[in-house]
């Protein structure tokens, strides 16, 4: 699937938030501590992404990214990956649920074409298949 370089790929949201399941996709280099870290040694960046499940725990997350200061995220991952806040909103009934998949990747890359045509498509397909997400919160670094 190719993305248009001109139009904005807008998908309407046509349901109640209180019934919606939400996923988080972040370019802030978030991954689980037991997952392979992003490759910050490669000057061209890292095109891979990390999948996190419905039961992802904020205490089990970390950041590998060398193009922004992430001390704040190191002490509270919710500043870029608001999984605890999302769970609180679910408990309050503001949203319906937490998606089965969340995704972290390292937004820095010199291989923009590959990021755009490969990684972004893979991430979209991950969300599309099996996450049950009705909408996605995106964050950068």
Partner 1 sequence: MRGTPTVLITVSPEVSNQMRPPRAIYPNGFKIGNSLGKPNMIDLQRQVLIDALTLLTQNTRPGSYKTIEYPQYGEFHEPPTVKKI
- Secondary structure of residue 104 in the 3-state scheme: strand
| Interface with partner 1, residue 78, by CB under 8 A | yes
Identity of the residue, 50 or 63, whose beta carbon is nearer to partner 1 in the bound complex = 63
- Residues 72 and 35: their CA atoms lie apart, in Å, by 21
Q: Where are the alpha helices (DSSP H) in 1-141?
A: 71-75, 83-91, 112-114, 120-128
| Interface with partner 1, residue 51, by CB under 8 A | no
- Secondary structure of residue 91 in the 3-state scheme: helix
Identity of the residue, 39 or 125, whose beta carbon is nearer to partner 1 in the bound complex = 125
| Residue 106, strand partner residues | 28
| Interface with partner 1, residue 58, by CB under 8 A | no
Q: How far is the CB of 36 from partner 1 (least distance, A)?
A: 22
CA torsion through residues 78, 81, 85, 91, sign: negative
The contacts of residue 84 (CB under 8 Å, 6+ apart) are 58, 78
Q: How far is the CB of 13 from partner 1 (least distance, A)?
A: 4
- Residues 52 and 30: their CA atoms lie apart, in Å, by 10
Q: How far is the CB of 109 from partner 1 (least distance, A)?
A: 12
| Interface with partner 1, residue 91, by CB under 8 A | no
Q: Site residues for partner 1, window 20-39 (CB under 8 A)?
A: 20, 22-23, 25, 28
Kindly list the residues in this chain that would bind partner 1 in the complex (CB under 8 A): 1, 8-13, 17, 20, 22-23, 25, 28, 68-73, 75-76, 78-80, 82, 85-86, 88-89, 94-95, 124, 127-128, 133-141
């Amino acid at each position: 699937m190719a993305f248009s370089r001109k139009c904005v790929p807008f998908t309407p949201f046509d349901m109640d938030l209180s019934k919606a399941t939400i996923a988080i996709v972040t370019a802030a280099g978030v991954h689980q501590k037991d997952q392979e870290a992003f490759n910050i040694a490669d000057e061209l960046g890292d095109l891979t992404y990390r999948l996190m499940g419905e039961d992802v725990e904020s205490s089990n997350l970390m950041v590998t990214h060398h193009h922004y200061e992430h001390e704040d995220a190191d002490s509270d991952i919710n500043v870029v990956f608001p999984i605890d806040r999302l769970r609180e909103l679910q408990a309050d009934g503001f949203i319906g649920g937490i998606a089965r998949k969340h995704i972290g990747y390292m937004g820095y890359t010199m291989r923009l074409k590959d990021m755009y045509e490969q990684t972004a498509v893979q991430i979209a397909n991950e969300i599309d298949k099996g996450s049950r997400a009705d909408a996605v919160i995106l964050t950068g670094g």
